[in-house]
Each structure stands twice: as structure tokens, then as C-alpha cells.
Amino acid sequence: MMQAWTPEGMAFLQDAMACCGYYPALARRIAPYLPKQAHVCDAGCGLGGLSVALLPYCRHVTAVDRAAAPLENLRQRAGHDPRLTVRQGDIRCLPPETPYDAMVFCLFGDVEEALTVARQQCRGTVLLIRRDYAYHRFSTGRVPVGFTAADSEDTLRHLSLSYRMERFSLEFGQPLRSLEDARRFFRLYDRSGAVEPPLHRLVPGPGPEFPYYLPNRKELCLLAVEIPAMEEA
């Protein structure tokens, strides 16, 4: 399902990106798997936090997403960096002139769909970043999430594909300017239908601009698959 990019949601995410260092930390995890001087595609890039964070580790990044709003936001933030290309559209319909050296699918839906795209558009490494937890983090109660690391491993084994795997956790919580902001955040992201927002989960924030903070330690799994190995399978 395509994410609904609302101005409110993008504003919350930008605050989190600015405060947490999540995407630079994720890029450092990805970097050792990238070929030297690689042209990398960030598929389903959203606001492009990872796209920008990957720039120090490769020759060029192409950021692709179907939604116009987050890409316009990315263009405004990134300026005219010659190392970054931003493309809007369905990744399946936007093949590069020359195959990518690597493709990153960060929390990108279905693994088989990602691998199908990668077979057509990439000649090197496919990097799948998956959730390594079963329940939605910003909901009250236990609301399941889909497309987990375990699901992805099952798919790769079913397809008889070899892969490298690394598990790690990164902090990506939400800084908040007020308790009213916190209520708005939970109304936007709590999938449980709870009437009262769980304000008890808040801790002191990083500074005067953000006096409140909602912690969120994300357990993640990186799965690396090589295109030549996929073609042999």
C-alpha cells in the first residue's frame, strides 16, 4: 500500500530525521555492502533521508518514489547536488539507462516484488532492510506489522537464494514540541483505535525546542543478495 504523505506526517518525520541520526547510522550499516564507486538506487525513498545519507559512500544515488510530495520536499532540502537524481514514478516502470550497481529497498513491501525489480534493473547487490519486530511501535496494544525479517528470510529460502544477513537496532523516536503535538502524533500513527493517547510513554526531550520525546528503538535486519547468485538460482 502506498503511504499517504500528508504535510503533518512529513513535518513529524523531518523532526525525527533532524534529531535522531537514524539515516546516517543506517547508511553506515549499508556502506560495507556497496560496490566501490557504485550507482545506487534508493527504491521507495520517501523523504530521501537514506538517499542523502548514502551519498558519502557511493558515486551517485537515484532516489525513486511514486509520491510527488515527499520528492518535492527532498529536492528542496538537497538542492542541486550533482550526485543525487530524484525520479517520480513506479519503480517497475523506471529502469535506468545503465543497470544500477546496487539497489536498496528499505521497508519496501513485498520481497519477491523487490527482487523482480532488482533482476531487471541491477547488476550487483540488492539490499533489503526489514523490520525485525512483529508489532507496530506507535500503537497502543499489539497491532501486527507485515513484511518482517522472518517473512523475508522464509521467502529467500523458498526461492533457494543465498544471502548475507545482519541484525541491529537503531534509535528512531519522535521529538515533540508540546503535549498537543504528542496527541496529534498518536492520532496520526496509532493503529489500535485507542481513545486516549499513551502520553505516559513520553520522556524528556533533547532540548527547549523539543521538550518531549517518544523513544523508539527499531530492531532491523539487513539482507544482502547478489544478482549473479539470483540468476544462477
Confidence category of residue 101, pLDDT binned at 50, 70, 90: very high
Instruction: Write down the pLDDT at residue 229.
Output: 66
Instruction: Write down the pLDDT at residue 139.
Output: 47
**Which CATH number fits the domain 7-174+217-232, given the four candidates 3.40.50.150, 2.60.120.10, 3.40.50.970, 3.40.50.170?**
3.40.50.150
Instruction: Give the tens place of pLDDT for each residue, 202-233.
Output: 999 999 999 999 999 999 999 999 987 676 65
Cell of 27: 547508511
φ, ψ at 83 (rounded to 5°) = -85, -5
Neighbour count for residue 103 (Cβ, 10 Å): 30
How many angstroms separate the Cα of 21 from the Cα of each of 5, 33, 74? 21, 20, 17
Instruction: Give the tens place of pLDDT for each residue, 46-98.
Output: 999 999 999 999 999 999 999 999 999 999 999 889 999 999 999 999 999 99
Q: What percent of the chain has pLDDT over 90?
A: 76
pLDDT at 135 over 90: no
φ, ψ at 135 (rounded to 5°) = -130, 145
Instruction: Give the tens place of pLDDT for each residue, 171-209.
Output: 999 999 999 999 999 999 887 777 788 999 999 999 999
pLDDT at 136 over 50: no
Helices (H) and strands (E) in the chain, counts: 8, 10
